[in-house]
């Protein structure tokens, strides 16, 4: 059996490793940290972490497998596609605008939080991770998992947004390129979601035909 400290450290490392890889959330954190401030960037991460906490709570209390319901998967993929396309459009439209160097506003932070939350709640990969991996770790680690896991996520969100904001003056010259590259990454995820959605539709049509 692992000691309490070992379980906390393992969960912390898992949360850090899950939050650190490149993806839609980190792309938005980087963009918002450069465009506005570290707080706006961190708000995106806080929104995504809120979605993770919601999934953790549902699994801890109910232990249900939402994705087993056939209608849920295509809805999630379709919604995820719509959100990522919209965010890609926003990034492209922002690419020609000059980043704001003034004081952070509550509206900007709130918008970043909602962006992170909306992606987190509709990302099938994120939900699938909780149902395939998270549900097992919660049962093994108990409450130590939540403490260590979310500490790891928040540590990454705060440090990544702060570092991005710290070097924002050096990155302003390539801000347009960063926006366009960010939009390209989000569209790549959109393409993946769309591919999975079409695969599910073909599968359901095949099953319906056999019935």
Give residue for tokens 């020609």. Answer: 96
For residue 171, count other CB atoms closer than 10 A to its CB: 17
Span 18-29, pLDDT tens digits: 777 667 888 889
For 13-54, the DSSP string reads HHHHHHHSS-SHHHHHHHHHHHHT-HHHHHHHHHHHHHHHHH
CA distance 116 to 23: 12
User: pTM for the whole thing?
Assistant: 0.73
Which residues lie below 8 Å from residue 27, measured CB to CB, with a gap of 6+? Answer: 182, 185, 186
| Rounded Cα distance, 201 and 182, in Å | 29
Q: Give the span between the Cα atoms of 166 and 195, in whole angstroms.
A: 38
In this structure, the number of other CB atoms found within 10 A of the CB of residue 207 comes to 10
Which one, of 31, 159, 167, lies nearest residue 94 by Cα? 31
Average pLDDT, the chain: 78
pLDDT class of 66 with cuts at 50, 70, 90: low
Q: What letter does residue 70 receive in the DSSP assignment?
A: T
Say which range, 11-25, 33-47, 107-121, 131-145, has the weakest mean pLDDT.
Answer: 131-145
Using CA atoms, how far apart are residues 77 and 126, in angstroms rounded to an integer? 12
Q: Round to the nearest angstrom and report the end-to-end CA distance of the chain.
A: 49
pLDDT digits (tens, 9 = 90+) for 142-168: 777 788 889 989 999 999 888 888 887
Contacts 24+ apart (CB under 8 A), 61-66: 63/135, 65/131, 65/135, 66/127, 66/131
Residues 116 and 25: beta-carbon distance below 8 Å? yes
Mean per-residue pLDDT, 90-113: 67
């Amino acid at each position: 059996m692992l000691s309490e400290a070992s379980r906390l450290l393992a969960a912390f490392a898992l949360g850090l490793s899950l939050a650190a890889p490149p993806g839609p959330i980190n792309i938005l954190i980087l963009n918002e940290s450069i465009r506005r401030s570290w707080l706006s960037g961190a708000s995106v991460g806080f929104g995504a972490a809120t979605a993770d906490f919601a999934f953790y709570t549902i699994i801890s209390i109910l232990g249900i497998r939402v994705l087993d319901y056939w209608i849920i998967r295509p809805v999630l993929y379709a919604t995820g596609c719509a959100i990522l396309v919209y965010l890609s459009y926003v990034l492209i439209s922002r690419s020609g605008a000059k980043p704001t160097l003034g004081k952070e506003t509550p509206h900007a932070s709130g918008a970043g939080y909602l962006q992170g939350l909306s992606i987190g709640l509709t990302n099938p990969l994120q939900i699938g991770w909780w149902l395939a991996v998270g549900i097992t770790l919660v049962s093994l680690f108990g409450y130590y998992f939540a403490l260590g896991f979310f500490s790891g996520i928040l540590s990454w969100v705060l440090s990544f947004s702060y570092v991005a904001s710290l070097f924002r003056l050096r990155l302003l010259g390539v801000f347009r390129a960063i926006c366009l590259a960010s939009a390209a990454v989000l569209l790549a995820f959109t393409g993946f979601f769309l591919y999975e959605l079409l695969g599910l539709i073909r599968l359901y049509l095949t099953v319906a035909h056999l019935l």
